[in-house]
Amino acid sequence: MKIAALQMSATANPTTNPDRIIAAMARAKEQQADLLVAPELAMTGYGRGEELIKLAEPADGPTVQKLTRAAQDIGISLVVGFPEREGDTLYISAMIIDGAGGATQIYRKAFLYGSYEKGIFTANGPSCFVVDLCGLKAGFLICYDVEFPENVRRLAKAGADIVIVPTALPHGEEGRHIAQKVIPVRAFENQVHVVYANHADKDLMFEYQGLSSIAAPNGKTLAAAPESGEALLFAEITPDVYLPCRERNPYISDLELAERNQKAE
């Protein structure tokens, strides 16, 4: 599978975000990508404050439908963050659109970060969300979720080949550490690919770290964006290439063996 990750500049008019995502899908398809990953709340922009309450849509809302039609017309799958409404409850969610015409699926953020998110949204709590996508098993997390090692390990134990993480990582020393150190370690310690798609630059409320990346199971970075500016990253995801690395670093199989032995005692 060839994957594209979109780093979105937060400086543009956020009302145009759906069209920007569609344009990125078209550019990614021109490069033979099978899947495009856009950031957390990319559909509306992250730093919209309480306006997100009005902008939130149900899983079959008009903008969701627009992006679904575009993905299927272009012939590319899409993962994009959006504010989801279910009745009176709002979630930070990622919709997973199968460009081949399969059902659209929704992952809801497990852990909310800070008073900003907690004042608007509801945390869904930890889950193990793994779906078949473009011929691979893909697990999903959003932003802060990936900073809990247990979440990535849960997906790896469930057989995920790749962990997809739309994010809105803030700018600063800690953000730089997460993007450049934590993400490749998560890939290595679980022997999975990790796709980390972030915003960059500033909106009216926040400044973002950029540094979107695609990390391989051996901990190496296959593609990376700078700290500022819009970027479209590409990488070939071929899990079998990393079988020797998994054999040398059998964290998941050794952990599962230890757990079985413990249960047998």
Query: Whose structure tokens read 């995920």?
Result: 160
Which of 134, 143, 147, 230 is an active site residue? 143
Spans of all domains in the chain? 2-264
Task: Categorize the per-residue pLDDT at 100 as very low, low, confident or very high, splitting at 50, 70 and 90.
Answer: confident
pLDDT tens profile 151-187: 999 999 999 999 999 999 999 999 999 999 999 999 9
Task: Give the span between the Cα atoms of 195 and 81, in whole angstroms.
Answer: 14
DSSP labels, the chain: -EEEEEEEETTS-GGGHHHHHHHHHHHHHHTT-SEEE--TTTTT-S--TTHHHHH-B-TT-HHHHHHHHHHHHHT-EEEEEEEEEETTEEEEEEEEE-TTS---EEEE-SS--HHHHHTT---------EEEETTEEEEE--GGGGGSHHHHHHHHHTT-SEEEEE--PBSSHHHHHIIIIIHHHHHHHHT-EEEEE-EEEE-SS-EEE---EEE-TTS-EEEE--SSS-EEEEEE--GGGGHHHHHHS-HHHHHHHHHHHHHH-
Q: Is 57 annotated as catalytic?
A: no
Fold category of 2-264 in CATH:
Nitrilase/N-carbamoyl-D-aminoacid amidohydrolase (3.60.110)
Which of 40, 57, 84, 147 is an active site residue? 40
Q: Is 40 annotated as catalytic?
A: yes
Which of 57, 109, 134, 147 is an active site residue? 109
- pLDDT for res 190: 98
Question: What is the pTM assigned to this prediction?
Answer: 0.96
Q: Is 109 annotated as catalytic?
A: yes
pLDDT tens profile 62-97: 999 999 999 999 999 999 999 999 999 999 999 999
